[in-house]
């Protein structure tokens, strides 16, 4: 039973984007984001911060591109190992788009040696224009800034990851961490009673009011006090599909390979074809 959701969004520094001549609200398609990266670099501004050493932050890009290219049904088919699985041409297209981005060298210097906290600090210290990260970055990320405060709301904005022209996915399709409850088959009736109360709109509205999380229960977004988090939550309620991170849905073994491939392509140590093949081979061995 879903409890709360933390979507990955593209946070942006309003001041740096303005200096670079970038209007993030006009980034609707992947090509628009590529153009924004080029404008930032031309203005001497680091386009994106990422914790490459941890690998999972890089996989956000490749996985989201898969979502935007393949759409819900296509992603499910790949995970179910249909249509030649991860060696599907549309998967290769997504990885190629990812390679095209990384070839522009959009990340901060030394990103492959930086962890998530270090990259979050880079962004919240005002040294990069964009940061693709989960909503926990509004608390954890800010805490990694030099002043432990990070970018205030008036300097911070967000957009959802853009669509890919000709792709089957939509910008409103969510890529998100999802926390929830697993209930044992032998659980007593009181377990269900508890769930009805805890996951009911009244209790989850109180969770939202305290800013503890974005509840999975619809109708609670308006209770969130932080205006930025509230806006994200309101957008979430319009989504029709939520995909959890690939390093979770594929399990620890193949998930690790997916993260490795995302890092190797970014560093130039692999190609989309080799990466897709490595993921597919691992999935064949480890899927359940």
Q: 166, 17 in Cβ contact below 8 A?
A: no
- Does the pLDDT at position 217 exceed 80? yes
What are the tens digits of pLDDT across the range 48-57?
999 999 999 9
The whole-number average pLDDT for the span 122-131 is 98
What are the tens digits of pLDDT across the range 137-148?
999 999 999 999
Residue 232: which residues within 8 A CB-CB, separation 6 or more? 7, 9, 135, 158, 214
What are the tens digits of pLDDT across the range 164-203?
999 999 999 999 999 999 999 999 999 999 999 999 999 9
What pLDDT is attached to residue 238?
A: 85
**Number of C-beta neighbours around residue 107 at 10 A:** 26
> What is the CA 48 to chain-centroid distance, rounded?
14
Of 229, 39, 19, the closest CA to residue 126 belongs to: 19
- Does the pLDDT at position 121 exceed 80? yes
What pLDDT is attached to residue 288?
A: 65
Report the share of the chain in percent with pLDDT over 70: 100
The whole-number average pLDDT for the span 20-34 is 98
What pLDDT is attached to residue 33?
A: 98
What are the tens digits of pLDDT across the range 148-160?
999 999 999 999 9
Q: Whole-angstrom Cα distance, residue 101 to residue 53?
A: 18
Lowest mean pLDDT among 226-240, 241-255, 270-284: 226-240
pLDDT classification of 212: cutoffs 50, 70, 90: confident
What residues form DSSP beta bridges with 31? none
Q: Whole-angstrom Cα distance, residue 140 to residue 147?
A: 13
- Does the pLDDT at position 90 exceed 90? yes
What pLDDT is attached to residue 83?
A: 81
Q: What angle do CA 126, 128, 131 make, to 5 degrees?
A: 105
Give the chain's domains with CATH numbers: 2-178+240-281 (3.40.190.10)
Q: 124, 142 in Cβ contact below 8 A?
A: yes
What residues form DSSP beta bridges with 283? none
Overall pTM surpassing 0.85 (yes/no):
yes
- Does the pLDDT at position 262 exceed 80? yes
């Amino acid at each position: 039973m879903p409890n709360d959701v933390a979507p990955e969004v593209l946070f942006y520094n309003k001041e740096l984007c303005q200096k670079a001549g970038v209007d993030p609200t006009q980034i609707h398609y992947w090509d628009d984001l590529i153009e924004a990266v080029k404008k930032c670099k031309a203005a001497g501004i680091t386009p994106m911060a990422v914790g490459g050493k941890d690998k999972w932050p890089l996989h956000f890009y490749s996985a989201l591109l898969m979502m935007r290219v393949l759409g819900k049904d296509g992603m499910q088919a790949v995970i179910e190992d249909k249509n030649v699985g991860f060696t599907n041409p549309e998967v290769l297209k997504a990885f190629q788009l990812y390679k095209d981005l990384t070839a522009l060298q959009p990340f901060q210097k030394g990103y492959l040696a930086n962890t998530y906290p270090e990259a979050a600090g880079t962004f919240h210290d005002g040294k990069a224009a964009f940061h693709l990260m989960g909503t926990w970055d509004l608390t954890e990320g800010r805490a990694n800034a030099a002043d432990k405060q990070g970018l205030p709301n008036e300097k911070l904005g967000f957009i959802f990851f853009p669509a890919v022209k000709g792709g089957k996915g939509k910008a409103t399709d969510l890529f998100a961490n999802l926390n929830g409850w697993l209930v044992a088959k032998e659980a007593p009736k009181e377990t269900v009673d508890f769930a009805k109360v805890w996951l009911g709109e009244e209790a989850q509205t109180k969770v939202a009011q305290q800013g503890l999380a974005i509840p999975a229960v619809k109708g609670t977004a308006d209770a969130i006090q932080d205006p930025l988090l509230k806006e994200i939550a309101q957008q979430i309620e319009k989504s029709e599909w939520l995909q959890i991170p690939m390093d979770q849905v594929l399990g620890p073994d193949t998930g690790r390979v997916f993260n490795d491939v995302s890092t190797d392509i970014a560093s130039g140590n692999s190609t989309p074809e080799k990466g897709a093949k490595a993921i597919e081979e691992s999935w064949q061995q480890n899927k359940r």
